[in-house]
C-alpha cells in the first residue's frame, strides 16, 4: 500500500496552509490593513480662514457640518440669512463644500445660534474668544490727548502776535494732522464698538455620501473577516484536492497490480534496516530448526528429535 513518510506529510500541510494564507491575503488586501486610509473631501478655502482669523470680533464661533445634499443645506441656511437680514462677509459654494463667514448683533445671538445648531448633521462647534488684552486700548483717552494738543495749537495761533507767517503756517499744518488723527480714532472707536457688539460665525458644510461614512475600523474588521473566509475556502479546497489525489494514486497502484506491473516498492522486500528488511522483520518470519533431547532420570540421552518451528 502507498504510504507517505511523516516528514513528507508535515511538508504537505505547511505548503497547503502557506498557499491558503497567500491567496486569502491577496484577495482580502489584509497586507494593507494599517496603511489603508479613507479618502474624503476636505474644505480648502484659505480666504475664508483669513477673513475669520483676521476679524477683530471678540467672540467667534466656527460650525462644521456634513451633509449628503448641499443644496438642501444651503437652502435652509439662506432662509436664516433672509429671516434676520444677514449679509455674509464671504461665501463660497462648490461641488464638495459650502463655506461662509458672517456676523450679527449679539442681541440676536440666542435666536440665530439656536437655528444654526438645529441644522442637520452639526459635527463640531468651536468658540474662539479674543484675548482681552487686545481690547484694553482706551481709544477715548487717545482722543482726549489729541484734542488737548489741538486746543494748545489753536491758542498759539489765536495769540500769534509775535509769530511769523511761517510759524503760523506750520501750526496750521500740525493742527490739520491732529484733526485727521482724531477723526481716524473716532472711526476706530465705532468699528471697535461694532465688533464688540457683533458675533462672528464661520459656517462650513462638507459633502459626504453614505459610502464615506464607513469608518476605518469597520473597513479593517471587514478585511479580517474576508481574510478568514478566503483562508477557510482555500483550505477546504486544498484538502478536497488532496483527498482526490490520494484516491487517484491508490487506484493507480491497484490498476498496476492487476496488470502485473511491479513498482519499485512492491518488488523490494521493503525498507531495509540493519540488513533485515522491514517486511521480513515484521510480516514474515522464517522457520527455525529446533533440536529436542529426551533424557531419563539418570541423565542419559534416550532420544533426540529435530523439528522446525
Looking at residue 3, what is its pLDDT?
66
Q: How many CB atoms lie within 10 A of CB 234?
A: 19
Is residue 255 within 8 Å of 53, Cβ to Cβ? no
Least confident of 177-186, 199-208, 256-265: 256-265
pLDDT of residue 283: 47
* 269 CB-side CA count, 13 A: 13
Give the percent of the chain with pLDDT over 70.
75
180, pLDDT greater than 50: yes
More confidently predicted of 272 and 189 = 189
Helix axes 139-158, 165-197, angle to 10 degrees: 160
How many Cβ atoms from other residues are within 10 Å of residue 10's Cβ?
11
pLDDT of residue 304: 73
- Residue keyed to cell 473631501: 41
* More confidently predicted of 10 and 137: 10
- Write the CA distances from 31 to 160, 228, 230, 231, integer angstroms: 92, 13, 14, 14
Q: What's the CA gap between 86 and 111, in Å, rounded?
A: 13
Q: Average pLDDT, whole number, for the chain?
A: 77
pLDDT value at position 44? 80
pLDDT at 284 over 90: no
| Residues 59-80: tens digit of each pLDDT | 889 999 988 888 999 999 999 9
Q: In this predicted model, what pLDDT tens digit does every residue of 75-113 receive, in sequence order?
A: 999 999 999 999 999 999 988 899 999 988 888 888 999
Supply the pLDDT for residue 132: 47
Q: State the pLDDT at residue 100.
A: 94
**What pLDDT is stored for residue 95 in this prediction?**
85
What pLDDT does residue 278 have? 46
The pLDDT of residue 297 is 73
Q: Tell me: pLDDT of 192 over 80.
A: no
Calpha distance 133→135 (Å, rounded):
5
Digit-coded pLDDT (tens) for 217-272: 777 788 889 889 999 998 899 889 888 988 888 888 888 888 877 655 554 444 44
Q: What is the pTM of this model?
A: 0.43
219-232 burial: b if 16+ Cβ within 10 Å, else e? eeeebeebbeebbe
Supply the pLDDT for residue 273: 45
Give 2's pLDDT tier (boundaries 50, 70, 90). low
CA dist., res. 52 & res. 189, Å (int): 21
Amino acid at each position: 500500500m502507498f504510504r507517505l513518510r511523516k516528514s513528507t506529510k508535515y511538508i504537505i500541510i505547511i505548503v497547503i496552509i502557506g498557499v491558503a494564507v497567500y491567496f486569502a491575503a491577496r484577495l482580502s488586501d489584509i497586507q494593507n490593513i494599517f496603511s489603508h486610509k479613507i479618502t474624503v473631501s476636505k474644505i480648502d478655502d484659505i480666504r475664508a480662514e483669513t477673513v475669520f482669523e483676521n476679524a477683530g470680533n471678540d467672540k467667534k464661533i466656527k460650525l462644521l457640518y456634513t451633509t449628503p445634499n448641499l443644496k438642501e443645506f444651503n437652502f435652509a441656511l439662506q432662509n436664516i440669512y433672509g429671516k434676520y437680514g444677514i449679509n455674509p462677509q464671504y461665501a463660497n459654494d462648490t461641488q464638495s463644500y459650502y463655506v461662509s463667514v458672517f456676523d450679527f448683533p449679539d442681541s440676536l445671538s440666542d435666536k440665530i445660534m439656536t437655528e444654526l445648531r438645529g441644522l442637520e448633521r452639526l459635527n463640531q462647534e468651536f468658540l474662539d474668544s479674543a484675548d482681552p488684552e487686545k481690547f484694553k486700548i482706551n481709544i477715548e483717552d487717545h482722543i482726549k490727548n489729541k484734542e488737548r494738543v489741538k486746543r494748545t495749537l489753536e491758542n498759539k495761533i489765536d495769540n500769534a502776535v509775535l509769530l511769523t507767517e511761517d510759524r503760523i503756517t506750520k501750526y496750521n499744518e500740525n493742527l490739520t494732522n491732529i484733526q485727521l488723527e482724531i477723526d481716524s480714532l473716532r472711526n476706530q472707536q465705532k468699528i471697535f464698538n461694532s465688533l464688540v457688539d457683533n458675533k462672528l460665525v464661520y459656517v462650513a458644510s462638507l459633502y459626504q455620501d453614505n459610502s464615506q461614512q464607513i469608518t476605518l475600523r469597520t473597513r479593517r474588521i471587514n478585511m479580517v473577516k474576508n481574510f478568514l473566509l478566503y483562508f477557510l475556502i482555500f483550505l477546504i479546497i486544498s484538502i478536497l484536492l488532496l483527498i482526490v489525489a490520494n484516491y487517484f494514486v491508490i487506484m493507480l497502484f491497484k490498476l498496476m497490480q492487476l496488470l502485473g506491473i511491479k513498482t519499485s516498492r512492491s518488488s523490494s522486500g521493503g525498507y531495509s534496516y540493519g540488513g533485515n528488511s522491514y517486511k521480513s522483520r515484521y510480516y514474515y518470519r522464517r522457520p527455525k530448526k529446533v533440536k529436542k533431547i529426551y533424557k531419563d532420570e539418570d541423565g542419559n540421552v534416550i532420544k533426540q528429535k529435530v523439528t522446525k518451528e
